[in-house]
């Protein structure tokens, strides 16, 4: 078990390195380089060359890569090409905003979705199950901005509460104030992950519920509640944690579209700006942050899958 987890951690580490290589060299193949972009078209070749040297761009790629990676690990993300400000400064506030929305989504969306999904699995084929399945099958395929638009339609246009643009400071706000402030992005993201989460948690529990040991429990006259909470959930918990982690990883993608939709000052809007202004240093830094989060969540998903196996938890 420990060996397996260590192995998976090792693979995770290698993946992170591979990811950093992809991101670094992916942004290196472009025409033009950082010095040119930073100094603008009017700069003389001499100035550019001098600046290249200062930035270390004259060194071999692998040296640049190692320098960039060690700086990243020390928390130095470099200086933005577009605005000449250290990236860490650029993202300080926005980082907090993105984390707040993501965490609130996870805190609200995950428990509700799990409850709905598990309940659907408890009464398979019931009207409740069929309606829920239909809704989640439909929602899972709809783009985030469609869900967002429906919510805006409902809350802003029909009910006249909330705002289609999320602005303003989060300073000094309590938990519930934060929730109402970010209500629409959180609701959108919750719907987005809920559609997946409901389907997958339902499938995970149903899979366990159809196993022979559950049939045996029924034939022993075990009451329904105990079957679900003692016999089924114990075995479904690993797959469920796996599903949750996978969906939180998906949140990393979803948050980009949702932040842009609501013109929300978070990391994702920043990275989109970075792409538009070809600010490679910014893309490299933010790309690493997003990918790291994603890789870590995938890692948790895998470890949860190991941990759910009783053969691994209780070796012979």
Angle, helices 87-122 vs 127-141, to 10°: value is 150
Site residues for other proteins, 180-239, by CB under 8 A, read: 211-213, 215-223, 226, 230-231, 234-235
Q: Does 271 bind other proteins (CB under 8 A)?
A: yes
Name the token pair of 309. Answer: 């196996």
Per CB under 8 A, the segment of 83-91, 112-120, 174-182, 275-283 that binds other proteins is: 275-283
Nearer to other proteins, 52 or 278 (CB): 278
- Footprint (CB under 8 A) of other proteins, residues 4-23: 15, 18-19, 22-23
Which of 1, 6, 30, 66: binder of other proteins (CB under 8 A)?
A: 30
Alpha helices by DSSP H, listed for the chain, are 2-26, 34-39, 45-55, 61-73, 87-122, 127-141, 144-152, 175-181, 183-209, 212-219, 224-226, 233-261, 267-276, 280-307, 310-313
- Number of shown-chain residues binding other proteins (CB under 8 A): 69
Binding mask 79-98 for other proteins (x = CB under 8 A): --------------------
Structure tokens at 87: 């990236």
Residue from 4, 57, 103, 272 touching other proteins (CB under 8 A): that is 272
Name which position in 51, 95, 294, 306 contacts other proteins (CB under 8 A): 294
Q: Measure the CA–CA gap between 164 and 187, rounded to whole angstroms.
A: 12
Can you tell me the distance from the alpha carbon of 260 to that of 268, in angstroms, rounded to the nearest whole number? 7
Binder of other proteins out of 112, 156, 305, 307 (CB under 8 A)? 156
Q: Which residues are CB-neighbours of 7 under 8 A, at least 6 positions away? A: none
Q: In 3-state terms, what secondary structure has residue 33?
A: coil
Please choose, out of 47-55, 88-96, 115-123, 247-255, the segment that lies near other proteins by the rule CB under 8 A. Answer: 247-255
149 contributes a contact to other proteins by CB under 8 A: yes
26 lies in the site for other proteins, by CB under 8 A: yes
Q: Which residue has the tokens 């490679």?
A: 280
Say what the alpha-carbon torsion angle 19, 22, 24, 30 is, to the nearest 10 degrees. Answer: -160
CA angle 222, 225, 229 (to 5 degrees): 100
| Residue nearer to other proteins on the CB measure, 11 or 85 | 11
What minimum distance in Å lies between the beta carbon of 222 and other proteins? 6
3-class secondary-structure state, position 79 = strand
- 212's CB contacts (< 8 A; 6+ apart) are none
Q: How far is the CB of 124 from other proteins (least distance, A)?
A: 10
Q: Is 74 in the site for other proteins (CB under 8 A)?
A: no
Q: How far apart are CA 215 and CA 10, in angstroms?
A: 40
Q: Which residues bind other proteins (CB under 8 A)?
A: 15, 18-19, 22-23, 26-27, 29-30, 134, 137-138, 140-146, 149, 152-153, 156-157, 164-165, 211-213, 215-223, 226, 230-231, 234-235, 249, 252-253, 256-257, 260-261, 263, 271-272, 274-276, 278, 280, 283, 287, 290-291, 294-295, 298, 310-311, 314, 316
């Amino acid at each position: 078990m420990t060996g397996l987890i260590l192995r998976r951690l090792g693979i995770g580490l290698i993946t992170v390195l591979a990811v950093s290589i992809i991101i670094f060299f992916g942004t290196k193949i472009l025409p033009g380089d950082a010095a040119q972009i930073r100094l603008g078209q009017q700069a003389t070749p001499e100035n550019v060359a001098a600046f290249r040297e200062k930035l270390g761009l004259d060194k071999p790629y692998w040296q640049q890569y190692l320098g960039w990676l060690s700086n990243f690990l020390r928390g130095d993300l470099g200086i933005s090409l577009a605005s000449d400000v250290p990236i860490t400064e650029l993202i300080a506030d926005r980082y907090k905003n993105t984390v707040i929305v993501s965490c609130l989504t996870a805190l609200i969306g995950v428990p509700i979705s799990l409850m709905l999904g598990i309940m659907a699995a408890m009464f398979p084929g019931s009207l409740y199950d069929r309606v829920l399945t239909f809704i989640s099958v439909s929602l899972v395929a709809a783009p985030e901005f469609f869900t967002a638009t429906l919510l805006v339609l409902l809350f802003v246009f029909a009910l006249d509460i909330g705002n289609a643009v999320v602005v303003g400071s989060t300073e000094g706000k309590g938990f519930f104030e934060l929730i109402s402030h970010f209500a629409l992005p959180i609701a959108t993201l919750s719907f987005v992950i809920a559609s997946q989460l409901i389907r997958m948690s339902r499938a995970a529990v149903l899979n366990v519920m159809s196993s022979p040991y559950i049939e045996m429990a029924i034939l022993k006259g075990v009451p329904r509640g105990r079957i679900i909470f003692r016999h089924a959930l114990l075995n479904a918990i690993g797959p469920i944690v796996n599903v949750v982690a996978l969906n939180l990883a998906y949140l990393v993608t979803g948050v980009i579209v949702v932040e842009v939709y609501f013109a929300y000052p978070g990391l994702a809007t920043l990275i989109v700006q970075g792409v538009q202004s070809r600010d490679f240093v910014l893309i490299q830094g933010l790309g690493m942050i997003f990918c790291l989060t994603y890789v870590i969540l995938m890692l948790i998903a895998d470890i949860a899958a190991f941990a759910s196996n009783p053969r691994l938890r209780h070796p012979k």
